[in-house]
Structure formats: structure tokens, C-alpha cells
Amino acid sequence: MPNATFDAPDLTTFCRLDELGLRAVGQQVRTEYVVLECRVNDPDDWCHGCGSPGVPRDTVKRRLAHEPFGWRPTTLLVRVRRYRCTGCGRTWRQDTSKAAEPRAKISRQGLRWALEGIVINHLTVNRIAAGLGVSWHTANSAVLAEGKRVLIDDPARFDGVRVIGVDEHVWRHTRRGDKYVTVIIDLTPIRDGTGSARLLDMVEGRSKQVFKQWLGDRPQQWRDGIEVVAMDGFTGFKTAAAEELPDAAPVMDPFHVVRLAGDALDRCRQRVQQQIHGHRGRAGEPLYKSRRTLHTGAGLLTEKQTARLTDLFTDDRHVEVEATWGIYQRMISAYREPDRKAGKKIMQAVIHALSRSVPAVLTELITLGRTLKRRATDILAFFDRPGTSNGPTEAINGRLEHLRGSALGFRNLTNYIARSLLEAGGFRPGLHSRFR
């Protein structure tokens, strides 16, 4: 930078204290921490009651955790002057509301750093607390409150939603209390090709009433704008959507449709395994060795996998598995067909075939056929409405699993919902502009 100009070093500007209405007058640098001594810029020496001038009385100290520099906790030691009114005798202190909320222990810049660390850099609350030099509970309460105020409670967060996905999520793996929640995802950016899916909300429980109540709490204008609801095979979600969103098209997404077929294939393989060998699969047995290969799309099979399946289906005892595998592959090919009209015809043919003349011995296909026939309209609706898969919903579920692991689990559902919204609520692109 040959033409760059430099100003004189200024600790106040470097630490962005001027944005807080403060100026640095001293520093204490240690290996473990940094303390900056500050003064309030505004003297505020006139009485707000009678308007008379005030005289300095004494000085009090206010300590605020600030954003760390060099990953060392930085504390602002603010010396606040107190005044006594010469007229009415009232006492007051200099206004530090630009630096922090009343009684807050973290500066506004510190809160911004912490919120960006949670939302953008996916830091844990423990790491945030260590960076600020405060306790875990202080950091957690302050960050969640700031995130709720700035991001989660933003009324514009629900604007523009046209396609939603709904699914269940296991938020804790203990026997105490309800371990399921219902997650609602905004799939509009996926449908429009403008971005990624985002978490809209999370509600305790997994039932028709839970989803129906959540929809009922939304404004009528918002509900009227919903065009598509992507869901799994749970009829409770479908019934709730039909009652609260009568004009929205329900779509059973490919992820769960294919999983239904995959579950039928697994049950068939396990049943045949028991009939032939009288026990569960063991290493070295053909059916057990092929359990993962059977779930691989035909177009993705390697030569070794193809040979393994060829040897498996050569045995006449495995003919039922082969028939079920064939249906599974036809359903996958329907979704992978580039021409959606052709894919829809393939899926229609599969549903028609399974609803008629299936041999009684193929009990898994009979059960699958009943489910597909009952939800045929929802399954085929996907081919007319691209971008309505619940796959992004499963991806967000994976992000929430990672969040729970990095936090070593959650005991408070309210905190978990808030952290989940900050993690997957789609706030990253607009976070900086919201603070300005």
C-alpha cells in the first residue's frame, strides 16, 4: 500500500469505544486479560428535573465485559461521575446507556461480538464466556436475550414465506419428559433458487394439535400466502395443514417416500433371513453382506456391488428380496428422472402395480402399496412442484444434532429452541446490517 496514509494510534478508535460514548484514558495489559480505563464523553452535568447545574460529587466504577482483543478477555473499567443539583439537591450519574443496558455486565460491542460468534462462527456459549471473561450463565442469558430481541423477535422474519416443511425432531435422548419437537422450515428459497432453507420455528411435542395450534397462531394473511406444505407420512401433519391451510397443496417429499420403500426392503430381507437361517444376519451371510448395497441406486453401483447383487439374486430363495428391491429401484428412478412428467408416470405405474395383484407372500410390498395408494395425491404432487423436498429439513435436523453435541446436550427446551433458531434461522447474511 504505497499511497496509504496512517493516523496517529488511537486506543479509543481501535477498540471502537467512541461508538459506546466512551474514551480510553488508560490501559492495563496482562498475559491473561486486558483492562481499559474509560471515561464517559458526555458530561451530563445539568439536572434533568429542574434544569439547574450540577456540581461533581464523586465517581463510581462500572465494569463491562468487552469484545476480546487477541482472544484475551477485555474489561472496560468505566469511571462514571456523579453530580448533585445546586437547585433541588437531586443526585444523578452520567448516562452510560450507549455503552450498555442498565445493570448489564457486557457492553453493546461485546454482545455484538458474542452474537456474531454464535450465529456466524458457530462458537459454543462456553467459548463465548471465556472470550468475554464472564460466567457461562451470564454469557448465555445475555446472548439469548440479545438474539431474541434483534433477530428472533423481528416481525419481518416470516415475510415472503410461501413453501414450508414440517417434520419431527428428537431434541433429547432421555426418558424424562417429551423428547420430540415439531420443526417448521421455510423452503421458499429452495423452491425459488434464491438461497438455503431456514428454520422458522420449533414447537414442543409431535402431534396434529401441535402443528395445528402453531398454524392457528399465525396471521390469516400469512396463512393465505402458503402455497405448499412438504411433510413426511405422518397423517397428523396432513390433517392439520388441511384444516388450517385449505388452499395449500400437501406434498409428501421424496426423502420419506423412498425411506418407506427402504424400510419395506429391510423388513423383507430380515424376514427372508429368518426363514432361511433361523437367526438374524451374521457376517459372511449373503443377505447380511448386501444390506447396504441393496439401498444403493442402480445407477451408482460399482462393479463389485453389481456382482454381489447378481450372486445374491441367483439364489431362488432370495426372489422375494429381489422383487422388493426392484420396486425400491423403480421409485428411485422416478425421482431421478430429469423429465418430471416421465418421472410422474413411473411413480404412477409403481403405485398402480402395488395396489393390484401383489402376491400374498410379499407382505412388505402389500403394506407399502396401501400407504402409497392412500397418499398418492401427495406423492405425485411433488412432480408438479419442484423444490418442495423435505431434504433440506433433514439437513437442518443434522445441524441441530451437531449443535446439541457441541453443547454437550440441553436440559432447557426454551434455551434449545432459541439456540436452534440462532443456529439455523438464516440470520447470517443480514446480521451485520441489523446492527447498523
Read off the C-alpha cell for 128. 463465548
Residue from 17, 355, 424 nearest 183 by CA: 424
* pLDDT recorded at residue 233: 82
Q: Which long-range contacts (CB under 8 A, 24 or more apart) does 222-227 make?
A: 222/158, 222/161, 225/161, 225/162, 226/161, 226/162, 226/163, 226/164, 227/162, 227/163
Residue 22 sits at φ, ψ, to 5 deg, of: -125, 165
From the list 128, 123, 137, 124, the residue with the least C-alpha distance to 412 is 137
pLDDT tens across 272-311, in order?
999 998 888 888 889 999 999 999 998 899 999 999 999 9
Q: The domain 156-253+389-435 belongs to what CATH superfamily?
A: Ribonuclease H-like superfamily/Ribonuclease H (3.30.420.10)
pLDDT of 369 above 60: yes
Helix (H) or strand (E) holding 167: strand 163-170
The DSSP element (H or E) to which 208 belongs, if any, is helix 208-216
* CB contact at 8 A, 390 and 167: yes
Tell me, what's the pLDDT at 432? 62
As beta bridge partners, residue 85 has 54
**Residue 395 pLDDT:** 85
Examine the pLDDT at 404 and tell me if it is beyond 70: yes
Under 8 Å between Cβ of 174 and 373: no
Per-residue pLDDT averaged across 218-233, rounded? 91
- Show me where the domains of the chain are located: 12-152, 156-253+389-435, 254-384
Distances from the Cα of 67 to the Cα of 72, 257, 264, 334, 349, angstroms: 9, 48, 55, 53, 62
Cα three-residue angle 407-408-414, rounded to 5 degrees: 60
pLDDT at 434 over 60: no
Residue 251 · residue 381 · CB < 8 Å = yes
Residue 370 has pLDDT above 90, yes or no: yes
pLDDT of 175 over the 80 cut: no
Grid cell digits, residue 293: 448395497
Q: Which three cell numbers stand for residue 188?
A: 421458499
Number of Cα atoms under 13 Å in the Cβ half of residue 67: 16
> pLDDT at residue 181 above 60?
yes
pLDDT of residue 208: 92
With a CB cutoff of 8 Å and minimum separation 6, the contacts of 259 are none
Q: Please tell me the predicted confidence (pLDDT) of residue 433.
A: 59
